[in-house]
Amino acid sequence: MRIKTLMASCGVAALLALGPVGVQANDFKTWDTDSSGTISSDEYAAGADDMGLFDRADEDRDGIISRPEYGAVQQRTWDRDGDGFISKDEWAGRIGNQYTEDTEIGTFAYHDDNKDGVLDSTEFDPSGEAFSLFDDWDLSGDDGLDRDEYYQGSYAMADRNDSGELEEDEGWFGDWF
């Protein structure tokens, strides 16, 4: 599937991106409602709905996450202190989830064109190709993510070992919420 193809072509070992910050209930057992020890895709969708994952990303409430809405989620996730720049620390806290630092695109220096030690909005484009998995998640190709596409894409991303389930040690939750 295209998600895996992109991951392979970018040398991506592991990822998990996006998400607003600081809400409760990022507890594995809460999501694993049948206590099987893994979170199925159905459990994930239910938990994500409970947390308002889709609705908070869909700012205009039209039922579709547009590319700018997706970019806004990415921006919030990467720019933890909300100052509009990605610092080296913010980069380091995030990059292993989306790209690995042993790839050129995964290095801070590759993106910091003016070498001032932070990534501004021209250097870091959260809805652009380097940081967006939008196109891979948009299975229907209509330039928007419906609920199923959003959950399917994020679930596949969280499933680092491609087992088809989320295990607790995958760090599945990251800081999506």
Only one of the segments 2-10, 98-106, 121-129, 157-165 lies at the binding site for Ca ion (rule: CB under 5 A); that segment is 121-129
Options 34, 55, 142, 148; binder of Ca ion; rule CB under 5 A: 142
Strands 118-119 and 86-87: antiparallel
Give the CB-nearest residue to Ca ion. Answer: 140
Residues 153 and 133: beta-carbon distance below 8 Å: yes
User: What is the 3-state composition of the chain as percent helix, strand, coil, each rounded to the nearest 5?
Assistant: 45, 5, 50
Only one of the segments 19-27, 40-48, 125-133, 141-149 lies at the binding site for Ca ion (rule: CB under 5 A); that segment is 141-149
Q: Is 114 in the site for Ca ion (CB under 5 A)?
A: yes
Q: Which of 53, 47, 18 has the alpha carbon at shortest distance from 147?
A: 53
158: region left, alpha or beta (phi > 0 left; psi from -120 to 50 alpha): alpha
The residues, ordered by sequence, that sit 6+ positions from 103 with a Cβ below 8 Å of its Cβ are 10, 11, 12
Q: Is 5 in the site for Ca ion (CB under 5 A)?
A: no
Q: From residue 21 to residue 60, what is the string marking binding to Ca ion with x (rule CB under 5 A)?
A: -------------------------------------x-x
- Residue nearer to Ca ion on the CB measure, 34 or 116: 116
Q: Which amino acid type is present at position 23? A: V
Region 74-113 residues binding Ca ion, contact defined as CB under 5 A? 79, 81, 83, 85, 112
Residues 99 and 10: beta-carbon distance below 8 Å: yes
- Residue nearer to Ca ion on the CB measure, 67 or 171: 67
Give least dist CB 5 to Ca ion, A. Answer: 18
Q: Is 140 in the site for Ca ion (CB under 5 A)?
A: yes
d(CA 35, CA 37): 5
Interface residues toward Ca ion, by CB under 5 A: 58, 60, 62, 64, 79, 81, 83, 85, 112, 114, 116, 123, 138, 140, 142, 144, 149
